[in-house]
Amino acid sequence: MFEVNGSYVVKIPRIPNGKLRKEACVMRELYEVGIAPRPVLYSSEPEVLIYEKVDGVTAAELSDLKAMREHSDEVASVLELVHSSQVNCDIPRYDSQSWRGWIKQTYSTLISRASSVLDPKVTVCVTDVLHRFLVDRSNFEFNAKFIHGDIDPRNLIVNQMGNLLALIDWGEAMIGDPALDYAGTFFDRVLGEAVLKTQREEPPSEMLKRVMFYVTTVPLYKVVYGLEMNDFPMVEQGVTELSKALEGFN
């Protein structure tokens, strides 16, 4: 991904997989409601997506997250708007029951791939966390909605005052559990808790258990991605974060 003339963002996948087609479709629909940047061009051969750059920075680049915390209600409102969107694109669609199958397959695969660098006790612990989540039927009684699927500070465009301007990187968009998006705001614990408390989709106490499962297990993605990219500092960071997260998971 790179910028052109400070006005456009160009995305070219390392390995073409069709996600840019989905992302272009989603962005075309969500630009109209002010959630996503305006896509300019999508080409399948070679696969490339170009969209207008939003004048702001990512939350990861924000000099002081305190400013964003003060606008947690805006973040909650944007996520509610995302989740209420009816998107007519070719995206994975899960109801609350088939979501259980997706969770089982996705996280079992992540654990298997990460196990080569995890302490055996950590592997056993995270496997137990997954099992307990899967057998608790209350985790699969939510209303499935359209979700971004990859909320993290690199995908939130804000201004220096902390106002959320747009969401980018829609390649993981799907119909699924909205708690996954709220979990993404916990890159800053204070912000995440404020957003969860402010949102009006579910009582926070009902969503919290699902949110904390996703928060606890997200370092698995970092470990596996680091292994795929041969980025061993990332792998080490993910392993450390996972061990720490599991210590606080009940």
For residue 26, the model assigns a pLDDT of: 97
For residue 99, the model assigns a pLDDT of: 98
Question: pTM value?
Answer: 0.95
Dihedral pair phi/psi, residue 44, rounded to 5°: -90, -25
Q: CB–CB of 187/153 below 8 Å?
A: yes
Read off the pLDDT of each residue in 35-59 and give the average, rounded to a whole number: 95
Question: Considering the domain boundaries, does residue 111 fall inside one?
Answer: yes
CA distance 61 to 54: 14
CB atoms inside a 10 Å sphere around CB 129: 20
Please state the domain count of the chain.
Answer: 1
Dihedral pair phi/psi, residue 167, rounded to 5°: -110, 140
- Amino acid identity for residue 177 in this structure: D
CA distance 105 to 121: 21
Question: Considering the domain boundaries, does residue 12 fall inside one?
Answer: no
250: pLDDT confidence band, cut at 50, 70 and 90?
low
Q: What is the CATH number of the domain that holds 215?
A: 3.90.1200.10
pLDDT digit string, tens, across residues 88-100:
999 999 999 999 9
58: pLDDT confidence band, cut at 50, 70 and 90?
very high
Q: Which helix (H) or strand (E) holds 51?
A: strand 47-52
248: pLDDT confidence band, cut at 50, 70 and 90?
confident
Tokens representing residue 152 in the block:
């993290």
Give the range of the structural domain holding residue 225, as residue numbers without chain letter.
56-247
pLDDT digit string, tens, across residues 147-184:
999 999 999 999 999 999 999 999 999 999 999 999 99
pLDDT digit string, tens, across residues 107-118:
999 999 999 999
Question: Considering the domain boundaries, does residue 166 fall inside one?
Answer: yes
β-strand partners of 57: 158
Tokens representing residue 7 in the block:
């006005």
DSSP string, 61-72: G-S-HHHHHTTH
Strands 8-11 and 2-4: antiparallel
Dihedral pair phi/psi, residue 147, rounded to 5°: -130, 155
6: pLDDT confidence band, cut at 50, 70 and 90?
confident
> 186: which DSSP letter?
G
